[in-house]
Amino acid sequence: MILETTRYLGPARVLTPPGTSGYVQVTAGDDVMWARMAMAVPYSPEPGDEVLVVYDEPSRAYVIGVLSGSGTTTIRVPSDLRLEAPGGVTILAGKTMTLQSEAALELNAPRAAFRFTRLNITVTTLVQRLANAYTWATGLVQSKSRRMRSIADEGWLVRANRAHVKTTDNIHINGQTIHLG
């Protein structure tokens, strides 16, 4: 014998975001009710989201899925979180992706590739330690700063079709020998 325990299983529209009690106000057909969030994934629906609701009477309604939503899914763990995938990990974001840490952000890999149309970097202090550095630009490379210093332990080479050095004050060249031409 099969008992019929469900009066409704179908879509509902979210009217209010969930409160601290874990209930959200929804409307399903002509019924307006408070439904308990009962999803395996911790989703926080927004007003206007379409959710999947099941109930036998409006006082015992449960949200068991999201059909279309704009809310947030938050995965919170009490301690460290480690994700391991031997084949790789792909994260796709339709709009913005933010990585944020209160202490430090560290990336470790034998090789990395960054591909952007535009990259803006804003830092207070940038320290780079490189064995070799190569930069290719098809257009202009410009550096602007209040002061600039370049130190080379062995040699310094500047090669160009044309070169201009302009100062509003003195220029000093100090060397044992200066070759012109």
- Residue ranges in the chain whose pLDDT is less than 70: 1-6
Nearest Cα to Cα of residue 39 among 5, 1, 66: 66
Other CB atoms within a 10 A radius of the CB of residue 18 amount to 20
pTM assigned to the model = 0.61
Q: What angle do CA 121, 122, 125 make, to 5 degrees?
A: 110
Q: What is the pLDDT of residue 2?
A: 57
Q: What is the pLDDT of residue 180?
A: 86
Q: What is the pLDDT of residue 48?
A: 96
Q: What is the pLDDT of residue 77?
A: 87
Amino acid in the structure at residue 17: P
Q: Which domains does the chain have, with CATH numbers?
A: 8-73 (2.40.50.140)
